[in-house]
Amino acid sequence: MSGSDESLKRILDNILKEHERDGTRLMDSSLNEEVRVLIKAKLTNVLLEKLKSKVLNNLEASREIEMEFETAVYRTWKKPLDLMALLLNICLEVASELDAGYGGKPLMKQSCVQAALASQQANACLVFNEILHLLKSGFPSGAHLHWKTLHETACVSYFISHHGEEIAKRFLDYEVVENYFQAEAIYEHQQKMDCTYLSEGDFKALRKKFASMKRKYGSDFVKKSNYPYGWIPRTVLKTRSLREIEKAVKLDILRPYYDLASSNSYGGSRGLIFKLGFMGNENKSMVFPVGPSNYGLADPGRSAAISLGQITARRLLSEPGVKISLIIEALRNLVEEICDAFCAIQEEFGKGSKT
């Protein structure tokens, strides 16, 4: 048992001994069920209050330890983390310029392709920012899991960019279908959860919009079995899945890394044991990492940089011009620099483990 486990055990033992001094044992067969439930409720409240007192008194020290560790992570990975922050800043500035009417085209007059790619790139910047903060805090597996979203966004952005206005329009309209499916699930279960997130009136309004999409595009567009890729016509992609989109846009080369990131998102045996921040040990002992790590930031860091670069380049290419070409080339060079910086530091860890 760890020190915290022993502390918890002592607290439980003390509570039970104190209660037994009052003359009643919790498991006494002479107690009826109602009395036993009352005693358990009382002891549970006492336990919770003691644990709150113990933990709250140690929170300040825990925060200081976290800050010291984050400082150590930043010291180790400073160069690629700073370059990631630079990449994010440039991508946000590019988006701001385009939204303000880069090239003389007002935002309200954007094509469906431009609007779809703008929404994708905006979401990608948010996810990238989350990844950056996870890496700075020493959580590479969490960052890698977030990268899955960036990869999916990149695949969809490439697909929309390749197929043009009709597909982009369907993609934008599909938001109604997604909203309805989510609302339907909430509306079905909210009474069981004893809460009201969605009123009957709001749900009916969403259902009305959903029906209009069904009339506009047909039943195949709104089938639940086609979610979340029902916006893609079968004439364009027969098997509508991320794997097929990856193949169509030639990003399936990243599928092994996507599957690796997925191993941390479900309760399988590999997902429970394999973590990017865990270097392992020679004795092969069963160790389950439960906290941050200063190791393993390279894969999620460079993957995130590559994907954000791809997504931003797709958006920029919807506005052709010499300036756009220069920005895209600069982004490509910056992404390569980020990848090289991550790899160099990861290699240093490898050298250290061999000595």
Nearest Cα to 275, choosing from 147, 143, 151? 143
Residue 56, in any domain of the structure: no
pLDDT of 198 strictly over 80: yes
Residue 48 lies in a domain: no
User: Quick check: is 42 in a domain?
Assistant: no
pLDDT at 235: 94
Domain that holds residue 334: 78-354
Omega within 30 of 0 (cis) for the link into 233: no
- Answer for the pair 277, 292: CB distance below 8 angstroms, yes or no: yes
Q: Specify the pLDDT at position 254.
A: 93
pTM strictly above 0.95:
no
Backbone angles phi, psi at 338, to 5 degrees: -60, -45
Q: CB under 8 Å to 130, separation ≥6 — which residues?
A: 146
pLDDT digits (tens, 9 = 90+) for 125-144: 999 999 999 999 999 989 99
Residue 106 tokens, joined:
């007002």
The verdict on residue 9 lying in a domain is no
Confidence of residue 44 (pLDDT cuts 50, 70, 90): confident
- Please give the tally of structural domains in the chain: 1
pLDDT tens per residue, range 72-126:
999 999 999 999 999 999 999 998 888 776 544 554 567 999 999 999 999 999 9
The 10s digit of each residue's pLDDT in 316-333 is 998 778 888 999 999 999
Tell me whether residue 104 is in a domain. yes
Q: What are phi and psi of 249, to 5 degrees?
A: -105, 10
In a domain, 121, yes or no: yes
Determine the Cα–Cα distance for residues 88 and 305; give it in Å rounded to an integer.
9
